[in-house]
Structure 1
């Protein structure tokens, strides 16, 4: 009986010896972002938005979308306060030590581009690392992109905490919470 108990505990002992890496196995999280324009002149991107802006990232589909929880924060980002919300979206995404990239967009697609489009690359170890690459596009009457603004930022996030990423004319609020 004692030998059986020892054998039963052996896998737990081996897992604890492998270190904390397994504790961060892929887990489902809710990701919520608010992309907004700040008061002042838009700062154009140095280069136009590429046609392959999603870079192979999987788009957030309807089955992954969740109800937004940062509605109070989004409401404060109104024109009276000098802001304009351009995208507010929440979805579920599996995070682990391997990068997981989601393609997000909003608005009507025109020749493969959206008014707001981009990618969020997330990795989780002890903290969540995010690489945001988002474009805000302007279109001409025929639907061609005539100019873009870009926010490209990386940051380390604490799960469940709201984080602000800044660019001269654009801002991004992001919160990643385990489910």
Structure 2
């Protein structure tokens, strides 16, 4: 009787597998906008560590792409209570294994940037993202005096713009196949 039930469920199982949209490994365009929201900055309990990239490779010049979320970035103005801190787009290969990149913006001061951090992406039925970004403040001599941190995980739909909110910082991200 058990074998009969298993055989009866086989066509239903196959139908569900065929109906599930599969996302294949491949090349994707990743675009992020990091911005500060109105209000007081929410400082992290400690400043960004010296090894903020944790061995993640930087985005190489050959993979940088033109930004497409320019109209969204244009709405994040001081008049609306926002300040864009980083806006980048690049191509990145994604698979079932996490793929991390180091992001930075602004001039380097003693190994730190005004905006720095890592973004890890993993491709499954959805796209899993882990963002760990630091917004740093420097004193007059260029030494790191304090940081804000946006650390958040989320699940994205391919091609869909997603907003991650964290204290006084926000992140818009879109990952779409090329």
Matched, 1:177 2:166: no
Is the CA contact 1:95–1:124 (under 8 Å) kept in the aligned structure 2?
A: yes
Match of 1:12 in 2: none
Structure 2: runs of 5+ lacking an equivalent: 1-13
TM-score, normalised to structure 2, is: 0.87
Match of 2:75 in 1: 76
Is the CA contact 1:24–1:97 (under 8 Å) kept in the aligned structure 2?
A: no
Residue 34 of structure 1: SS of its match in structure 2?
Answer: strand
Match of 1:152 in 2: 151
Q: Which deviations, in whole Å up to 9, do the C-alpha atoms of 1:20-71 show, x marking residues without a partner?
A: 9xx6553100000000000000000012100000011110121110000000
Provide the rounded CA distance (Å) in 1 between the counterparts of 2:170 and 2:65.
Answer: 22
Residue 59 of structure 1: SS of its match in structure 2?
Answer: coil
Q: What is the total number of aligned residue pairs between the two structures?
A: 160
Structure 1: runs of 5+ lacking an equivalent: 1-15
Match of 1:87 in 2: 86
Provide the rounded CA distance (Å) in 2 between the counterparts of 1:29 and 1:79.
Answer: 31
Residue 73 of structure 2: SS of its match in structure 1?
Answer: helix
Residue 133 of structure 2: SS of its match in structure 1?
Answer: strand
Q: Which deviations, in whole Å up to 9, do the C-alpha atoms of 1:85-116 show, x marking residues without a partner?
A: 00000001100000000100010001110000
Match of 2:46 in 1: 47
- CA RMSD of superposed structures (Å): 1.4
Q: How does 1:95-134 map to 2 (within 5 A)?
A: 95-134=94-133
Provide the rounded CA distance (Å) in 2 between the counterparts of 1:37 and 1:120.
Answer: 18
